[in-house]
Chain A
Amino acid sequence: MDTSPDSSRRDFLRTLFAGLTAFFVGGFGKARGGESKDSRHGKPIRPGEHRWGMVIDLDKCTGCGACVVACSAENNQMLGSPEEAAMGRIIRWLKILPMEEGEYPAVRQTLLPMPCQQCDDPPCTKVCPVYATFLNNEGIVGQVYARCIGCRYCLNACPYTCKFFNWRKPVWPEEMQGSFNPDVSLRPKGVVEKCLFCHHRLQRAKEEAAAEKRPLREGDYQPACAEVCPAKAIVFGDLNNRDSDVLSLSADSRAFHLLEELGTEPKVTYLKEGAG
C-alpha cells in the first residue's frame, strides 16, 4: 500500500478541488447540468422520495372536457365572463387545445389536454425575482401567492404559456359562494397562479397515511383531472416507483414531450395518437 506523504497530499488536493468545484457549481443553481438532477439520473432513489408525473394518452382522450371542469371546480378557478374570454383572460389551469397537423387536403385535428408541464428544469422558476415560484423536492413547480409581486416574468419565460395571471379580483356568482373547495386558497388580484398537480390532495393523502402509520401508497393521491377522466386517458403516479403505470407508460414507444428540444424535461408525457 502506498502511504507516501506525496500521494496522500495529492489525494487531499483532489478531494479539496472536487469539493470546491461541487460547492461552486451548486451555487449556480440546482438545475444546472447532469450532476445535480439527483432523483432523475444516476443517484439511487431514497425510499419514500416521490417524483410525481402524468401521462396523457391522446388515443384515449375524447376531448370531453371533464378534466377542465373538474380542475376548475377543484381549484376554485373563476368562471370568467364572455368579455374576458374574448380578451384571452380566462384562467384554466388545464386547457384542451386544438392542434392542427398537416396541410390541406391531409389535415388532422388533435386535441391536447394541457396542464402545467411540471418541468424538471423549469424556465419559469429560474427568472422569478422573489422565489415565489420554485421546484419542490417532489418535482412539482409551486407558486407562493402571498409572495408573488406580479411581475409576470415567469409567464413570459414559460415556453408553454401554462401560467396565469389574475388580471382582476376574482368574482363568482352568488350561488357558488358555498361550493368552494376549502383546501384551496382563493387567489387575490395581481398574482400568478398555475397547475400544482392538486398539491392539496397530496398533502391530505400524506396526512391520512401518517394517521394510519403507513407509507404513502401508489394511488393514494390522484389530481382531479386524472380522477374524473372517463376514458382513463390521464394516468398519474410516482415516477420513482418502478412498478407504477406512469413510469412504464412514459417509456412507451408513443411517448413524447411538448417542445422536448428546449431541454425543460417535462414530467407530463403524451402518448401519440395512432395506436388503434
Chain B
Amino acid sequence: MRKRSWTFYVQALGLAGFYLFALTANGWFLWRAWKLYQLGDAWVPALVLGTLLGPIFLLFSWILSLLFFKIVLRKREAVIRPAPLGINPSEEIIVEPVLGQPSKGFLLATVALASVGLWALVALGWQLYYGLGVTGLNTPVFWGFYITNFVFFIGISHAGTLISAILRIVKAEWRRPITRSAEVITVLVLFFGAGNILLDLGRPDRALNVFLQGRLQSPLLWDVCSITTYLTASTLYLYLPLIPDIALLRDRAKGWKGKFYELLSLGWGGTHEEREVLERCISIMAIVVIPVAISVHTVVSWVFSMTVQPMWHSTIFGPYFVVGAIFSGIAALIIAMAILRRVYHLENYLRPIHFENLGILLLVMSCLWLYFTIAEYLTTWYGGEPEHMRIFYSKLTGNYSIPFWTMVVTCFVIPFFILASPLGKKVYGTVLSSIPVCIGMWLERFLIVVPTLVRPRLPYATGTYTPSWVELSLFAGCLAVFALLYALFTRIFPIISIWEVREGKERAEEEVVARIRTYFPT
C-alpha cells in the first residue's frame, strides 16, 4: 500500500456518496410504489418512472467509477506524479480571470448584483412571514410570476447541455470554445427554476412531503424526478470536460485554490489512456443528456396540459415547450458569450463565426416557434369552443393583447428580419436579436400561465392579476444572483475549454479532412 494524499480519501468519499445517492433514488421509486399500493393509490407510475430514471443514476455511478478507478487509481508508476502541465502563451488570456486579480468593474458589478440579491432576500423574508398574501395572486389566478419564472428558467437551462450535447454528437468543430459557457448556464439556472417552485409553495416548510408522501401520478412529481435527473446529469456533464482544465490550473495556482484544484482534478496527468476514458465518458453523457433534457421541458408543459383547463389542455404543449426552451436557451447563450467576449477580451476565441452559427440556429428555432404558435392558435380558433375563445380573444385583442403582440414581434419579427439580413453575420446583430427573444419567451410563458386562470370555464369566476413588489423583487433577485454566480464561476474555472480548443487546433483539421474523405468514392 502506498501512501495516499488527502485528496484520494475525499474523492473516494465523494464516490461512495454518489453510490448511496443513486441507490437511494432507485430505492425511493420502489418504496413509493409499495406505499402507494398500500394506500390503494396509483402505483404503476412510480414503477414506470423508476424504470426510466433509475438506470440513469446507475449509469452516472458507473461513469464516476470509471473516473475513479481509471484516473485516480491508475496503475502505471510513471504517471502517478505527472509532469506539470503547461499553459501556452496564447491561452493566458483565458486563465487570466481565474489567476489574476479581479478588476474594479468586476467588483462593482458583484456589489451591484449582490445588493439586488439581498433586496430579494428581504422580499423573501417578507413573503415567508406574511404568506403568499403579499403576492398579487388571488382566486382564481392561483399561479402567476413564480410559475412563469419557473418555466422560463427551466427553458433557459436548455441552452447549455442540449446545445452542447447536440453539437458534440454531430462533431461540429466550432462548438469547442462555446460549450463550457453554455453548460454553466444550464447548471446554475436550474437552481432558480426549481427555486421558483419553492417560492410558489404556500408551505415551503413542508416541501419534503414531495419525497416523503410523493404520489408519482402527479405531474408535479414528474417534474421533481426529471429535474433532479437533469441537474445531476448536467452537473456531471459540466464537470467531465473541466477535469483537464482544472489540472492545468492545479499546476499554476497556489494556496487554497491550488488545493481545491488538486482535489477536483482527480490527479489528471493528461496521458493517452486518461484521455480515452474521459472522452468515452463525455460521449456517453452527451447522448444521455439529450433525452433527459427533452423530458424535462416536456413534463414542465404537462403540468399544464394534463389539466382540463381551456388552452392548457393541448397535446402540442410538450414539443412546443421544448422548442421554446431551446430557442430562449440559444438567445441566453449568445448574450452571455457577447458579455464574456467583451469583458474578458476573448475576441480571439469567441469569434464572429460562432455568433453567426448560433444565429442560424436561433433563426431556425424562431421559425419553428412561429410554426408551433400558429399550429396552437389556429386549431383553437378554428374549433371555436366558447371557453377556449374567451381566452383566445383575451390574448389577441383583449387585456393581454399588448404582451401577446410584443411576444410575436420579439420572438419572430425582430429576430427573423435581423438574422436573415447581413446583420446576422455580425456579433451585435445576433445579440440584438437575442435580447428580444429572451423577453418574448418570458412573455410567452406568462401568456400561457395567466390568461387561462383569469378566465376559467365557469364564466363568473373571472379575476385579474397584477404582480406585487415581492414577486418583482424576487424575479430581479433570481436574475441578479444568477448573473453573480455566473461571474463567480468565470473567476474559479476557465469559461472556455482550454484543452478542447487546443485539441481542435492541433488535431481537428486532420480528423475533419480524413472524415470528409470517407464521404466520397475513392
Interface residues of A (CB under 8 A from B): 24, 27-30, 87-90, 97-99, 123, 126-131, 147-153, 155-157, 159-161, 164-169, 188-192, 258-259, 262
Contact = CB atoms under 8 A, between A and B. Distances in A.
A166 B202 contact: yes
A166 B131 contact: yes
A24 B220 contact: no
B360 interface: no
The 6 closest A-B pairs by CB, nearest first: A150-B202, A190-B202, A168-B133, A29-B42, A167-B133, A27-B44
B139 A165 contact: yes
B460 interface: yes
B307 to A, nearest CB: 4
23 contacts: A27-B43, A29-B217, A88-B139, A88-B141, A88-B463, A127-B218, A128-B218, A130-B206, A130-B214, A130-B215, A151-B202, A151-B220, A152-B142, A152-B200, A153-B218, A155-B139, A156-B142, A157-B307, A159-B457, A160-B457, A168-B133, A190-B201, A190-B203
Nearest to A112: B460
Interface string B34-71: 00010111111101000000000000000000000000
B453 A123 contact: no
Quick one: which of B44, B47, B130 has the most chain A CB within 10 A? Answer: B44
B461 interface: yes
Contacts, number: 150
B44 A161 contact: no
B40 A129 contact: no
A259 B456 CA distance: 12
Contacts of B197: 151
Nearest to A160: B458
B213 A152 contact: no
B138 A87 contact: yes
Nearest to A87: B138
B419 interface: no
A168 B463 CA distance: 19
A149 B207 contact: yes
Interface in B1-56: 37, 39-45, 47
B309 interface: yes
B220 A30 contact: no
B202 A130 contact: no
Given A88-B463, A129-B221, A149 B131 contact: no
A24 B200 CA distance: 35
A124 B368 CA distance: 34
A98 B461 CA distance: 10
Contact of B131 (A30, A128, A169): A169
B39 A131 contact: yes
Interface string B297-334: 00000010011110000000000000000000000000
B142 to A, nearest CB: 4
A128 B457 contact: no
B219 interface: yes
Contact of B37 (A27, A147, A164): A27
Majority secondary structure, A binding face: loop
Given A129-B209, A189-B133, A190-B131, 9 more contacts: A29-B42, A123-B307, A127-B218, A128-B218, A130-B206, A152-B200, A161-B458, A166-B131, A189-B202
B458 A147 contact: no
Contacts of B458: 97, 159-161, 258-259
B132 interface: yes
Which of B43, B213, B456 counts the most chain A CB atoms within 10 A?
Answer: B213
B309 A156 contact: yes
Contact of A262 (B219, B224, B308): B308
Contacts of A128: 215, 218
B137 interface: yes
Contacts of B221: 129
B140 interface: yes
Contacts of B132: 150, 165, 167-168, 189-190
A128 B209 CA distance: 11
A169 B44 CA distance: 38
A46 to B, nearest CB: 17
B215 A131 contact: yes
Given A27-B44, A167-B131, A191 B456 contact: no
B463 A126 contact: no
Contacts of B215: 128-131
Given A130-B213, A160-B458, A149 B206 contact: yes
B210 interface: yes
B303 A153 contact: yes
B143 interface: yes
